[in-house]
Amino acid sequence: MSTEVKVVSPAPMTVATPLKDAAAVAARINEKFANAASVVDGSLMVDSSQLVAVATLLRDDPGIGADFLEDLTSIDWPDRFEVVYHLYNLTRQEGPLRMKVRADKADPRVPSTVPVWPGADLMEREVYDMMGITFAGHPNLKRILMWEGFQGHPLRKDWKEAYFEEEKKPFDQRWPEGALVRAENRTPFKDNIVLPSGFDPTKYTPPAEDNVPLVEYNQPLSGEMKSQTLIVNMGPQHPSTHGVFRMRVRLDGERIVDLQPVIGYMHRNHEKIGERNAWLMNMPYTDRLDYLCSMGNNFGYAIAVEKLMPDIKVPERAEYLRVIMAEFTRIVNHFFALGQLLSDMGAFFTPMLYAIEEREWMLDLFEMASGSRMMCNYARFGGVARDVPPEFMPLANKLVNDRLPRAIDRFDDYIATSEIVLARAQNVGILTKEQAIALSTVGPVLRASGVPYDVRRAEPYSIYDRFDFDIPIGTVGDVYDRYLVRIAEMRESVRILKQALRDIPAGEIFAGRKGWQVKIQKGEAYGRIENPKGATGFYVVSDGGTNPYRYHIHAPSFINIGALGTMAKGHTVADTVIILGSVDIVLGELDR
């Protein structure tokens, strides 16, 4: 069994890309299904009654080949709902094709695309939960982020949270004349937590499926021995779920028959808060999505919003600084992920602490640049917040040229050849190439399954087209491959950093006028970057106002968790833990 990591360098596509040409795609669809598709504002508008047929055509037609559904979300317009799909082709490395489906305001109903793109499962559940759009034909349409008894759909524009103050920040009433009045005394909505009729929270018991007795089913499994399956709730309080995350596992002995992720414990309606915030206020808020990659999240949000600011041209030095920070973030995240994975395997924190030791040096750099070690809030629309101090470059050069390569090699040498690690990680949690694409996985999980897809190469943003780097891919798609891919990616990041630190010019770091409010033109944009955990997308819709009309985050942790059940089936409890560790999730962005 070969577990070498292959390194490939797919060239960015230069040929005309049919997926980006919505009009051509619409024409192709209309050849088969009359009047099923049209083009509105550059997006493909599909008639909802023919959605599944059109989606199948989009996926299977060799001229279109939209085999990868990256993101699925929805917008609540005053007169209608819109479900928005972002489609890509991974082999030709092109996209996105933005497809929209309209739904009726009174009874929003759209056919489910899970049969076409299985990765739509969790995303459709999220839209159902948050926006109240029913996906007909979805296999398991239940609430996902909110709890089962919740009334209402929090992302709808008419939904008001408890202690609602005003539609948009900055709130005028935060600065009243004279004495402070507390929000809970000021607002008429202080009791607007709506409970189902006849519901008493003190007598609530969870649904039967969550509240199962120790031994649940008496029916024998196949085979001669009469045995019973056992349902174990791993989490939300469990040392290895990396936060308040729950896996409902059905066990036959120690073998996993079925695994379902249960999420939403840390849900705080990030997107709704983001829609109340002014554009720039969301910049520090993106830090909180993923405490390991705040620099990357800032970067992604800035890219998305800058697409709606055509006058802005980010200065060279700022682009370099953003890339330097993003690549350091990748090394920080991968060190942490690998340390955590080995801790999950039972190596009693030693690799974890060795990894954290290296991470501290990079956090020092972040602190120099932004003033904060973890919540950096560094990018701005049109540049970065401030230039780096003079002592930044010597330390960065020392780390990149000396310390980090040695640390990565050491990590590789000590651990990657250990017999116990090999025995634990090889051929565990296999995700094939086809499954990885169908389940819409992103980042190291996708690449470890052998798909050479990296946003930095496929859709070069910022100045990534200038750097020389390779994309490591796995051959088997098991936990060990994900491990090796991460180590190889750290090496590639060091390569990029060497080039960036060598080439960084002097000059301005910010374009445009400084101020807390920015002018964003009307429109929509999907900006995405290759964050350490995978492609992170920011879908922003502007109505020309001071706040985003819609602010949606495509979080890699959320989408990768959809593949967990497929990976874990047939393995043992001990394997589940390391499979979850190899996916590398952060609950902040998983639950949003």
Partner 1 sequence: MSEDILLIVIKVAVLIVILLTVVAYTVYVERRIMARMQSRIGPNRVGPFGLLQPLADILKLIFKEDLTPAGADKVTYFLAPALAAITGLAAFAVIPFGNTIDLFGIKVNLFIADINVGLLYLFAMSSLAVYGIVLAGWSSNNKYSLLGGVRSSAQMISYELPLGLALVSVVLAAGSLSLGDIVKAQANLWFIVQQPLSFVIYFICAIAETNRAPFDLPEAETELIAGYHTEYSSLKWALFFLAEYMAVITVSATAVTIFFGGWQGPFLPGWLWFVIKLSGFIFFFTWMRATLPRLRFDQLMRLGWKVLLPLAALNLVVIAGLVAAMGG
Given the rule CB under 8 A, which residues bind partner 1? Answer: 214, 230, 232, 238-240, 254, 342-350, 353-354, 357, 418, 420-421, 423-424, 572-577
Q: Please report how close the Cβ of residue 216 comes to partner 1 at its closest, in angstroms.
A: 11
Supply the minimum distance, in Å, between the C-beta of residue 421 and partner 1: 6
> Is 102 or 242 the residue whose CB approaches partner 1 more closely?
242
**Residue among 21 and 412 whose Cβ is closer to partner 1:** 412
Eight-state DSSP code of residue 210: G
In whole angstroms, how close is the CB of 424 to partner 1 at the nearest point?
A: 6
Nearest to 277 by CA among 537, 582, 534, 518: 518
Q: Which of 172/357 has CB closer to partner 1?
A: 357
Quote the least distance from Cβ 183 to partner 1, whole Å: 37
H or E stretch covering 406: helix 404-416
| Rounded Cα distance, 427 and 523, in Å | 47
- Please state the separation of Cα 232 from the chain's center in Å: 27
Q: Give the pairing type, strands 81-89 and 109-111.
A: unpaired
Which residue lies nearer to partner 1 by CB, 67 or 478? 478
- Which one, 441 or 576, has the nearer CB to partner 1? 576
CB of 480 to partner 1, least distance (A): 13
| Length of the chain in terms of residues written | 592
Q: Which residues contact 451 (CB under 8 A, 6 or more apart)?
A: 90, 433, 436, 437, 473
Q: How far is the CB of 270 from partner 1 (least distance, A)?
A: 29
Least Å from the CB of residue 242 to partner 1: 11
Measured from the CB of residue 199, what is the shortest distance to partner 1 in angstroms?
Answer: 26
Q: Are 547 and 277 in contact (CB under 8 A)?
A: yes
- For 247-311, the three-class secondary structure string (H helix, E strand, C coil) is EEEEEECCEEEEEEEECCCCCCCHHHHHHHCCCCCHHHHHHCCCCCCHHHHHHHHHHHHHCCCCC
**Torsion sign across C-alpha atoms 126, 441, 29, 78:** positive
H or E, element range at 322:
helix 316-345
Which residue in 372, 365, 341, 374 sits closest to 355, CA to CA? 341
Nearer to partner 1, 147 or 217 (CB): 217
| Cα–Cα–Cα angle for 294, 359, 332, rounded to 5 degrees | 45
Minimum gap (Å) between residue 372 Cβ and partner 1: 25
Structure tokens belonging to residue 347: 């190596």
Q: Whose Cβ is closer to partner 1: residue 195's or residue 215's?
A: 215
Q: Is 506 exposed, middle or buried (0-12, 13-18, 19+ CB in 10 A)?
A: exposed
Cross-strand partners of 551: 540
Smallest gap from Cβ 416 to partner 1, in A, equals 12
Query: By the 8 A CB rule, do 542 and 523 touch?
Result: yes
Residue 230 or 375: the one with the smaller Cβ distance to partner 1 is 230
Question: Whose Cβ is closer to partner 1: residue 11's or residue 225's?
Answer: 225
Alpha-carbon gap, residue 168 to 281, rounded angstroms: 11
- Closer of 372 and 418 to partner 1 (Cβ): 418
